[in-house]
Amino acid sequence: MVVRATLVFMAALLTSCIQPAEVQEKRSVMDPMERNRMYLAQERQLIDQYIESHQLEGIEPNGYGMFELPVTEGEGATAEIGNRIVYEATVYLLDDSGVGRYRDTIELGYSQVEVGLHEALEGMKEGDVKLVLIPSFLAHGIAGDLDKVPPQSPLRYDLRLIQVSR
């Protein structure tokens, strides 16, 4: 009796999971490329709104999807790929909540930091200060940093290049 009840229960469970073919066909699956285009357009809109709401006059796109605004011009050596550099960064989400402030030393173009950060630091001179808006795909990406940066979050970096070593 128990075996028969168990078999009836399992049969009911299995058949309840099967959907008629017509229901399965009605589901539309968004093309992954189209979903990414849609998300990038939404993120670009967030960045544009941030620029407008913070009245960032003079901020310019850099060709990689980032926006840069020079704040202070330095006079020292220029950072190039392969240089060892020391920089300071203050990082914010676009809702203006602070992610953190830190000082780091990296080998430009080779260290394991955000791709957008390498791009932003390249070409800066010692003493330069600039504001950079970095889209999520050049920052912490789809997963965020699993701590303070949520998934798919564009970031604002306030950068200061301290030292360049060849």
What is the tally of structural domains in the chain? 1
pLDDT of residue 6: 53
In a domain, 23, yes or no: no
Q: Which residues contact 150 (CB under 8 A, 6 or more apart)?
A: 93, 144
pLDDT at 152 over 70: yes
- CA 40, 139, 65 angle in degrees (round to 5)? 45
In a domain, 149, yes or no: yes
pLDDT of residue 166: 87
- CA 96, 98, 99 angle in degrees (round to 5)? 125
**Lookup result for tokens 């399965």:** 24
User: What is the Cα Rg of the chain in Å?
Assistant: 24
pLDDT of residue 12: 55
In a domain, 5, yes or no: no
Residue 142, classified by CB atoms within 10 Å of its CB into exposed (0-12), middle (13-18) or buried (19+), is exposed
In a domain, 1, yes or no: no
In a domain, 3, yes or no: no
In a domain, 76, yes or no: yes
Instruction: Tell me the average pLDDT across 137-148.
Output: 90
In a domain, 11, yes or no: no
What's the pTM?
0.80
Q: Which residues contact 144 (CB under 8 A, 6 or more apart)?
A: 150, 151, 152, 153
Q: Which of 27-31, 108-112, 129-133, 147-151 has the lowest mean pLDDT?
A: 27-31
Domain CATH for 49: 3.10.50.40
d(CA 137, CA 150): 13
Residue range 39-88, pLDDT digits in tens = 889 999 999 999 999 999 999 999 889 999 999 999 999 999 999 999 99
Name the residue range of residue 75's domain: 31-165
Residue 40, classified by CB atoms within 10 Å of its CB into exposed (0-12), middle (13-18) or buried (19+), is middle
In a domain, 132, yes or no: yes
